[in-house]
Amino acid sequence: MQARLLLEDGTLFTGKAFGSEGESTGEVVFNTGMTGYQEVLSDPSYCGQIVTMTYPLIGNYGITRDDFESIRPFIHGFVVREHEEVPSNWRTQYTIDSLLKEYGIVGISGIDTRMLTRIIRHHGVMKGMLTTSNRPVEDMLEQLKATRLITDQVSRVSTKSVFGCPGTKERVVLVDYGAKSGIIRDLTKRGCDVVVVPHDATADQIRRLNPDGILLSNGPGDPKDVPHAAGIIAELLGEYPIFGICLGHQLFALACGADTEKLKFGHRGGNHPVKDLISNRCYITSQNHGYTVKEESISGTDLIVTHINNNDKTIEGLKHKTHPAFSVQYHPEAAPGPFDSSYLFDDFITMIHSFKEQNPRAPRQAEIVAARGGSSASQRKGELAYAKK
């Protein structure tokens, strides 16, 4: 079956369809990873986007559920040069074609992905329509230009209820803006008692979970589309150690008074060099974001730049001058070969230990006694919805 990809500038690509039949619109982006297409497909940060893989052969090792970064894919379309229909790997459970069919995602192969990537690099990301229909191009283009891209990606991918991943050590509240499973794996591997909360959990709801630290997850879209998040982070800043990743990094910056802006075509891939300004060491990182913290907006805030991108010098890491809080733009839980950046989780745990030593808490019994005589019998408002078994 034929499939077509139409860009808002009128460029039309015609290729072979795979996956589901139908039609979808989204922001057309590209990923430069040579491997990891399964992690790309299941990364919630791609919600609302039509993803182009620059590596020419995709699907050769199939799909394995154990490697998923979320329960289901959220992408709006998948574009490849060559789609391998018969994967060869002992772990393979099914093919990309069957995965896309299962979740109603349209795929296209057999187009010049190098040309598409060069268009995006030159003109920037743009809207696109992926379809298996035979509609006239003029009608498609008119509809595409009138279509507004979604801005509620975070609410679409965030958990709707609280759930826990029990551990015996530090309790970490993970605020889910579109969290990858790798973040939970890295925390539980270190014995953390992880509690995942929705993106709109209030500061009081988070406090009642009695966390030792708070992790702000990755997620899709513009950080300014979730304005409530920056306010909640600002309220909790200084009360608990905070670690932000990707979208969490941008929201942390907004909470501290900095600003963000959209990149021309973003950073998406597993081969982005990042320089640690403290150690002067360069790391190869996995990235997926279309926005960045504006460098000039850092002046006048209490933030220090700790990492920069060696390609375009954009900000890749921040640290608060006085509060126990830091963030990175890239994905330390991802392993595009090396595990170089996993030390950041260890730094977060060390920060929690140091904060607890410097700020010992009063025994819980003392808090109960102090609160005696208050309106404790009144029902609490705004309780979180907990996952049911």
* Catalytic annotation, residues: 246, 331, 333
Alpha carbons 356 and 41: distance in angstroms, whole number: 39
What residues contact 267, with CB distance under 8 A and at least 6 apart? Answer: 287, 288, 289, 309, 314, 329
Alpha carbons 124 and 6: distance in angstroms, whole number: 15
User: Do residues 356 and 241 make contact, with C-beta atoms less than 8 angstroms apart?
Assistant: no
Instruction: Output the known binding site for L-glutamine.
Output: 45, 219, 221, 247, 250, 288, 290-291
The per-residue DSSP string of 244-268 comes to EETHHHHHHHHHTT--EEEEEEEEE
Alpha carbons 253 and 317: distance in angstroms, whole number: 10
In the numeric block, the tokens 């003109």 are attached to 123
Pick left, alpha or beta for residue 120 (phi over 0 → left; psi -120 to 50 → alpha; otherwise beta).
alpha
Alpha carbons 108 and 17: distance in angstroms, whole number: 5
In the numeric block, the tokens 């759930």 are attached to 163
User: Do residues 154 and 201 make contact, with C-beta atoms less than 8 angstroms apart?
Assistant: no
User: Do residues 331 and 245 make contact, with C-beta atoms less than 8 angstroms apart?
Assistant: yes
In single-letter form, the type of residue at position 235 comes to E
Q: Rounded to 10 degrees, what is the CA torsion of 310, 316, 322, 323? A: -150
Backbone angles phi, psi at 37, to 5 degrees: -60, -30
Classify residue 225 by its DSSP letter. Answer: G
